[in-house]
Chains A and B, each alone.
Chain A
Amino acid sequence: MSLTTDAIVKQFPSVKHIHDAFDSKKLSVFELTQSFLKSASESRHNAYITLCPELALEQARAAQVILEKEKKVPREKLPLLGIPLGIKDLIHRQGVRTTCASKVLENYIPPFSATAVSRLESAGAIVLGKLNLDEFGMGGSNENSAFGPVIHPTHPDRVPGGSSGGSACAVRASLCFGALGTDTGGSVRLPASYCGIVGLKPTYGRVSRYGLTAFASSLDQIGPMSRTVEDAALMLDVLSGHDPLDSTSDLRGATQARIALSREINWSATRIGVPKEYFVEGLSAEVQSSIEKSLQWFESRGAKLVPVSLPLTPYVISVYYLIAVSEASSNLARFDGVRYGVRPLAADHVKDLREFYTQVRGRFGAEVKRRIILGTFALSSGYADDYYRLACQVRRKMTEDLQQAFRSVDFIASPVAPTTAYRLGEKSQDPLQMYLNDIYTIPANLAGLPALSIPCGQDRDGLPIGLQLMAPHFQEEPLLAVGHALEQWQKGESFHAS
């Protein structure tokens, strides 16, 4: 087989098509993995930090054996058989280096796998390698990686978005068939939007966080990133469900999202909320018009567009940043060089404990240090009530506002970001500027709501634009169904550039 992966994904755009091709022997399991490994190793995007070809090929061989035995892909039992995926390098795969894009963990090999990864592998998926990201998930452009920035998949002078920049780029550039990202304030949805792919942040508690290096424990979720909504749904079905190893994992069983996509949508009973506070100055005209076009399409199908009000919108970023950095400052305290990670100086060469800690932790990047300092401050005695605690109180009010809005609508629609992908270096000097970019994505993390980013257009430079849809807690199935419908329409209109 000499098809490039670009050609492969064009011809077989989703898992269903790949499995059909396996069944009809148009594609070979082993060669598919080989092709992706080749693309990944040859690409200049810097999307991967670590490739694990031996493991991937071993898994591919095993998948091939199964296929030969079963004659056809056993889609119920192994819904991801032979599908090569990339894993954001914040999430563990046992025996494969997890760096978190940090110098502090350059050499860390986890002795266990994340539940999310184990479930993917149990479903037959192949792990190609670990994808680049902003260090410890902190950033919105993938420029904060100790392993170099990731380049936008189609526009090399642009950022792919972050922090799951490597994941989004790899999916879009055909360096993997699908990927896992993580989303704390928009880190799956923003890069998905900038790169023109699908990204889902599930409800908080839907997907186990065991094996995910924690950034902000009450905000983090692992989410699938893929070319199609159907594949995101398929991955969610495999990833979700209670995990006894994660106390914040909801007790529900796995979703049945893929099946939900084929159900008829009752459009006339569908109400889509449009927050009036979102469509303000700062939002690019092209993004706005693209969003409006999608909304008009929903209306044309019979859905009602309902104006909603989220009056706490101006405070969203303040609340998020205080909570996220506070939790992060505590979560990152374990990186002290004692039990794992890089220790620049041996214990014998260090004067005392204080020097020991600071030389280990001095290897954090600037953004990480900044957030640790801000978070430590926000939790400090004398300040905690006015910063961390206050933010948690406002969080409750915001969540209540959103729940109130969902009494009159089924979904809330918005842009994913105020603009399309910006230039490398454009925002990296001003952290506050970067933080303001997250205004549309943050509410879903604060309120724990599921949120989907799907491509809905391009700007005049060909840069992708994403539409965000949020749903109430644990309503991923209807959310994905509506997203799927929009995507099908988009495809009909040839919005998906390949």
Chain B
Amino acid sequence: MHPEFEAVIGLEVHCQLSTQTKIFCACPARAPSGVSVADLVSNAHTCPVCAGHPGALPVLNRKVVEFAILAGLATHCQIRRKSVFARKNYFYPDLPKGYQISQFDLPICEGGFLEIQTSSGRKRITLQRIHMEEDAGKNIHMPGYSLVNLNRAGVPLIEIVSAPDMKTPEEAGAYLRALHAIVTYLEICDGNMQEGNFRCDANVSVMPKGSKTLGTRAEIKNVNSFRFVEKAIEYEIARQIEVIQSGQKVLQETRTFDAQKGVTLSMRSKEEAQDYRYFPDPDLIPVQIQESWIDELRGILPELPEQKKSRYVQSWGLTQYDADILTSSKSLAQFFEKVMERLGKSKESVNTLAKLASNWISGELIRLVNESGQDLAMSRVLPEHLADLVELVHQKTISHTGAKRVLAVIWEAGGTVSEVVEREGLRQVSDASALDPIIDKIIEMHPQQVQEFKSGKEKLLGFFVGQAMKETSGKGNPSLLGDLFKKKLLGD
């Protein structure tokens, strides 16, 4: 980043809530399980209310309010006891009523925060507000005409607006990941960015370093991955700096991100600044939220990523980095915790075990999950397996390579760890007395290398261990072998 400028970044995230029904009518809010949203018949999930027929009226879904409150509680917001829905008026074919029901003056949550971790340390990002609103339908563009599908019209959204507290693409990415983790932990949103149920808009501006006046900001919309958001912001910051340095003014406009080319593009087809004429929706009564409801919801808040991370670091001595990875998804964290339930029984060395578990989960297991393209939920490798595996590795009963093999086998075909170890003959020989004769044999067979090693060529240790491994058909414990060779050859 240019040393004379600083960037100001604010993020608006729209989360589709995973309720059964839409926000203001009883139409299904999502596709039935097993069916993808794209395969639904157009307009199969519509009724006079979400299709904006005359005489139709909105009735608020209780679950939507519940989910919004949970989001607010999880981000330390004030929950407004009386919040108001407002109409945002504009014309567009996917907006059936000619207005979107949203919240303007009195949103349900205000003034919260999120903590993020980046390479420069921890930072607190303020949340300005969270409000409830309805989603619009979808337009399908065909040559010569467009088609409107209202299945998505009326799907409940919460919009989470941050203060412009972020200064780098990395901070933006960290914020998004943290927010994503929270809403998926709360199970109020699927968090599937590809399908558009976690959407991010970034407001980016630049100003001379240390300036008190904000620059003109551009809004980047419709970026559907964390990485792309970071890249888009990075590009946009550079672009704006260039514009300013060439003596021109940054335009207040909406832009999209072209992932192929890695650039942001102006959406000049959009109309001039809209006048939305917000006013309180007279078809809806202000939402009144009782203290008792908030207390009830506070009581059912699950442990959130931040709390888990602290706990992992405190209880098991994991690093922040490890904790971050393990808590990046709720299912991963739950997997790890189940593993620790089994391993935690042995009080001593629980930290070592935790570290091993963490490594194996965030390394090999995640690799298998990603490569298969499946969900962790579909994994044949269960927490019990991983726990057993970690025990064996810890006891040096199997080698690192051996453990990888066990994992791969169980991933493919199931089984238990001990079964697979036996079947594949992976039990390491870690008995020094058993290995002794082999060491002697190797030393005898390679006198030249022994000489070279003794006179300083330390690298040859690998050679000796390799030879011994061949001799033991891979079953020797390599690190033990290394120690034994050193002892034999160098004495100590």
Task: Tell whether A and B belong to one assembly.
Answer: yes
* A positions within 8 Å CB-CB of B: 91-92, 98, 100, 105, 108, 110-112, 114, 209-214, 216-218, 244-248, 326-327, 330, 332-336, 338-340, 347-348, 353, 357, 376, 379-381, 384, 388
Whether B54 sits at the interface, judged by CB under 8 Å, is yes
Given known contacts A334-B97, A348-B145, A379-B89, is B57 in contact with A112 (CB within 8 Å)? no
Residue in B53, B55, B279 whose CB lies within 8 Å of A384? B279
Given known contacts A330-B99, A333-B97, is B48 in contact with A357 (CB within 8 Å)? no
Given known contacts A213-B55, A245-B59, is B275 in contact with A326 (CB within 8 Å)? no
Whether B202 sits at the interface, judged by CB under 8 Å, is no
Q: Which of B9-17, B280-288, B469-477 contacts A (4 or more CB under 8 A)?
A: B280-288
Residue in A210, A326, A340 whose CB lies within 8 Å of B279? A326
Q: What separation, in Å, do the CA atoms of A245 and B148 have in the docked complex?
A: 26
Pull 6 A–B residue pairs with CB atoms less than 8 Å apart, ordered by A. A112-B48, A217-B282, A247-B57, A330-B87, A334-B53, A334-B98
Q: Is A330's CB under 8 angstroms from B98's CB?
A: yes
Q: Is B277's CB under 8 angstroms from A376's CB?
A: yes
Q: Is B275's CB under 8 angstroms from A339's CB?
A: no
Whether B482 sits at the interface, judged by CB under 8 Å, is no
Residues of B with C-beta under 8 A to A92: 54-55
Q: Which residue of A lies closest to B94 (CB)?
A: A338
Q: Is B148's CB under 8 angstroms from A214's CB?
A: no
Residue in B58, B91, B97 whose CB lies within 8 Å of A357? B91
Q: Is A381's CB under 8 angstroms from B277's CB?
A: yes
Residues of A with C-beta under 8 A to B93: 336, 338, 353
Q: How far is the CB of A355 from chain B (nearest CB, A)?
A: 13
Residue in A100, A212, A330 whose CB lies within 8 Å of B89? A330
Q: Which residue of B lies closest to A353 (CB)?
A: B93
Q: What separation, in Å, do the CA atoms of A415 and B162 have in the docked complex?
A: 56
Whether B52 sits at the interface, judged by CB under 8 Å, is yes
Q: Identify 5 new A-B residue pairs, CB closer than 8 A, beyond the known A214-B283, A330-B279, A333-B97.
A: A112-B53, A213-B54, A216-B282, A245-B59, A380-B275
* Interface SS of chain A: loop
Residues of A with C-beta under 8 A to B285: 247-248
Q: Is A247's CB under 8 angstroms from B275's CB?
A: no
Q: Is B282's CB under 8 angstroms from A334's CB?
A: no
Residues of B with C-beta under 8 A to A336: 91, 93, 98
Q: Is A384's CB under 8 angstroms from B99's CB?
A: no
Q: How far is the CB of A434 from chain B (nearest CB, A)?
A: 24
Q: Which residue of A lies closest to B90 (CB)?
A: A333
Residues of A with C-beta under 8 A to B54: 92, 98, 100, 105, 108, 110, 213-214, 334-335
Q: What separation, in Å, do the CA atoms of A32 and B91 have in the docked complex?
A: 48
Q: Is B89's CB under 8 angstroms from A333's CB?
A: yes
Residues of B with C-beta under 8 A to A347: 145
Q: What separation, in Å, do the CA atoms of A339 and B59 have in the docked complex?
A: 21
Q: Is A209's CB under 8 angstroms from B279's CB?
A: no
Q: Is B97's CB under 8 angstroms from A212's CB?
A: no
Q: What separation, in Å, do the CA atoms of A353 and B271 have in the docked complex?
A: 12
In order of increasing CB-CB distance, the 10 nearest A-B pairs are A333-B98, A217-B282, A379-B277, A218-B282, A213-B54, A211-B55, A334-B52, A381-B275, A334-B97, A334-B98
Residues of B with C-beta under 8 A to A381: 275, 277
Q: Which of B45-69 contact A (CB under 8 A)?
A: 48, 51-60
* Interface SS of chain B: loop
Whether B144 sits at the interface, judged by CB under 8 Å, is yes
Given known contacts A330-B98, A334-B97, is B57 in contact with A210 (CB within 8 Å)? yes
Whether B96 sits at the interface, judged by CB under 8 Å, is yes
Q: How far is the CB of A47 from chain B (nearest CB, A)?
A: 22
Q: Is B279's CB under 8 angstroms from A388's CB?
A: yes
Q: Is B96's CB under 8 angstroms from A247's CB?
A: no
Q: Which of B270-302 contact A (CB under 8 A)?
A: 275, 277, 279, 282-285
Q: Is B283's CB under 8 angstroms from A247's CB?
A: yes
Q: What separation, in Å, do the CA atoms of A144 and B56 have in the docked complex?
A: 24
- How many of B's residues come within 8 Å of A, CB to CB? 30
Given known contacts A330-B277, A348-B144, is B55 in contact with A339 (CB within 8 Å)? no
Q: Which residue of A lies closest to B92 (CB)?
A: A353
Residues of A with C-beta under 8 A to B98: 330, 332-334, 336
Q: How far is the CB of B21 from chain A (nearest CB, A)?
A: 14
Residue in A114, A209, A244, A384 whose CB lies within 8 Å of B277? A384
Residue in B51, B145, B283 whose CB lies within 8 Å of A217? B283
Q: Is A214's CB under 8 angstroms from B55's CB?
A: yes
Residue in A212, A247, A380, A388 whose CB lies within 8 Å of B59? A247
Q: Is A379's CB under 8 angstroms from B279's CB?
A: yes
Residue in A209, A334, A335 whose CB lies within 8 Å of B57? A209
Q: What separation, in Å, do the CA atoms of A334 and B283 have in the docked complex?
A: 15
Q: What separation, in Å, do the CA atoms of A385 and B141 have in the docked complex?
A: 39
Q: Which of B235-267 contact A (CB under 8 A)?
A: none
Q: Which residue of B lies closest to A213 (CB)?
A: B54
Q: Is A248's CB under 8 angstroms from B277's CB?
A: no
Q: What separation, in Å, do the CA atoms of A336 and B89 have in the docked complex?
A: 13
Q: Is A247's CB under 8 angstroms from B277's CB?
A: no
Q: Is B51's CB under 8 angstroms from A339's CB?
A: yes
Q: What separation, in Å, do the CA atoms of A357 and B465 have in the docked complex?
A: 80
Q: How far is the CB of A227 from chain B (nearest CB, A)?
A: 27
Interface-central residue, A326, A335, A380, A381, by most chain B CB under 10 Å: A381
Residues of B with C-beta under 8 A to A326: 279
Q: What separation, in Å, do the CA atoms of A91 and B275 have in the docked complex?
A: 31
Q: How far is the CB of B94 from chain A (nearest CB, A)?
A: 9
Given known contacts A333-B97, A353-B93, is B53 in contact with A340 (CB within 8 Å)? yes
Q: What separation, in Å, do the CA atoms of A388 and B280 have in the docked complex?
A: 11
Q: What separation, in Å, do the CA atoms of A412 and B480 have in the docked complex?
A: 101
Q: How far is the CB of A100 from chain B (nearest CB, A)?
A: 7
Q: Is B282's CB under 8 angstroms from A248's CB?
A: yes
Given known contacts A338-B93, A338-B148, A357-B91, is B55 in contact with A110 (CB within 8 Å)? yes
Q: Which residue of B lies closest to A218 (CB)?
A: B282
Residues of B with C-beta under 8 A to A388: 279
Residues of B with C-beta under 8 A to A214: 54-55, 283
Given known contacts A217-B283, A336-B91, A339-B51, is B275 in contact with A245 (CB within 8 Å)? no
Q: Is B51's CB under 8 angstroms from A210's CB?
A: no
Q: What separation, in Å, do the CA atoms of A339 and B149 have in the docked complex?
A: 10
Q: How far is the CB of B61 from chain A (nearest CB, A)?
A: 11
Q: Which residue of A lies closest to B48 (CB)?
A: A112
Given known contacts A347-B145, A380-B275, is B284 in contact with A247 (CB within 8 Å)? yes
Q: How far is the CB of A231 from chain B (nearest CB, A)?
A: 25
Residues of A with C-beta under 8 A to B148: 338-339
Q: How far is the CB of A302 from chain B (nearest CB, A)?
A: 41
Q: How far is the CB of B301 from chain A (nearest CB, A)?
A: 28
Residues of B with C-beta under 8 A to A100: 54
Q: Is B277's CB under 8 angstroms from A380's CB?
A: yes
Residues of A with C-beta under 8 A to B58: 247
Q: What separation, in Å, do the CA atoms of A251 and B96 have in the docked complex?
A: 29
Q: What separation, in Å, do the CA atoms of A348 and B142 have in the docked complex?
A: 12
Q: Which residue of B lies closest to A212 (CB)?
A: B55
Q: Which residue of A lies closest to B283 (CB)?
A: A217
Q: What separation, in Å, do the CA atoms of A53 and B93 have in the docked complex?
A: 37
Q: How far is the CB of A164 from chain B (nearest CB, A)?
A: 16
Residues of B with C-beta under 8 A to A217: 282-283
Q: How far is the CB of B189 from chain A (nearest CB, A)?
A: 25
Residues of B with C-beta under 8 A to A353: 91, 93
Interface-central residue, B54, B275, B285, by most chain A CB under 10 Å: B54
Residues of A with C-beta under 8 A to B277: 330, 376, 379-381, 384
Q: Is B279's CB under 8 angstroms from A244's CB?
A: no
Given known contacts A111-B48, A334-B96, A339-B96, is B91 in contact with A246 (CB within 8 Å)? no
Residues of B with C-beta under 8 A to A338: 93, 96, 148
Q: How far is the CB of A184 from chain B (nearest CB, A)?
A: 12
Residues of A with C-beta under 8 A to B99: 330, 333
Q: Which residue of B lies closest to A350 (CB)?
A: B145
Q: Is A110's CB under 8 angstroms from B53's CB?
A: yes
Residues of B with C-beta under 8 A to A212: 55
Q: How far is the CB of B152 from chain A (nearest CB, A)?
A: 15
Q: Which residue of B lies closest to A381 (CB)?
A: B275
Residue in B55, B275, B284 whose CB lies within 8 Å of A210? B55
